[in-house]
Structure formats: C-alpha cells, structure tokens
Amino acid sequence: MKQIILVGIGGGVGSILRYLVKVAAEKIYGNSFPLATFTANMLGCLLIGLLLGYFTKNQNIPADWSLLLITGFCGGFTTFSTFSSENLNLIQSGNYFTAMAYILGSLILGVLAVFVGFGLVK
C-alpha cells in the first residue's frame, strides 16, 4: 500500500507541474506548436536520466525513492499519450511538417536528454 501511495503522490505532483508548464507555455508562445508537451517530455527525459544515473551510482537509496520520483513524478509529468493525440490532430489538420518535426524532435532530443542526464550524474 505504501508503494501505491508513493506513486500516487509523485504522479499527482508531476501532473500538476505538467499543467502549470502548459499554462505558462500557452501564455508565452500560444498554440501553434505543442511546446508545453514537448517541454514536459524533454524535461522529464532529462530528469529520468539524472535519477537513473543517481540511483545507479548510489545503490543504497531505498527503492521507494524510485517509485516516488521515476514511476510517480516522471510518469505524471511526461505526457506521451498527449503527445500522440496532438500528433493525430496535427496530421488530421494537414500540418504534416509540424507533426514530423514534433515527432522527430521529441524522439531524438528525448533520448539525448536521457543520455545527458545519466552522464551528468555518472
């Protein structure tokens, strides 16, 4: 039960922060590119890399921290389902170039961010 609560708390905080990123990005940049989701996913990938590197380096940290921060927080903060839905909308509205840039940018930069985060801690 403790693990479920930790994942729930982390996920709730991550989801709230994702929403705040969305509100801020839409105020600053508008809606022409799904920048809020892109930002959340890139930050989440970087954070997961940092956490994985840190937990690998410091194996004496209780597994509860991984549940809270990686499974919970990063799971709530990153938004792959929203990413997929936004790409469907872009494609359906004929914005093929934007959809392709969003897909490739998310994949390439996301994987790179995980490597950078992991490398920074290692």
What's the pLDDT at 80?
A: 86
Q: How would you label 57-84 residue by residue, b for 16+ Cβ within 10 Å and e otherwise?
A: eeeeeeeeebbbbbbbbbbbbbbeebbe
For the chain, what percent of residues have pLDDT higher than 90? 79
Positions at the binding site for Na(+): 75, 78
Cα 21 to the chain's mean position, in Å? 11
pLDDT bucket at 85, cuts 50 / 70 / 90: confident
Task: Say if residue 64's pLDDT is above 90.
Answer: yes
Section 27-56 average pLDDT? 89
- Token code pair at residue 43: 């930050």
pLDDT bucket at 72, cuts 50 / 70 / 90: very high
The strand ranges marked E within the chain are none
Token pair 């961010």 in the structure block, residue: 113
Contact 86, 34 (CB under 8 A): yes
Contact 96, 81 (CB under 8 A): no
Give the start-to-end residue ranges of the domains of the chain.
2-121
Positions at the binding site: 75, 78
Section 3-13 average pLDDT? 97
- Quickly count: other Cβ atoms within 10 Å of residue 104's Cβ: 10
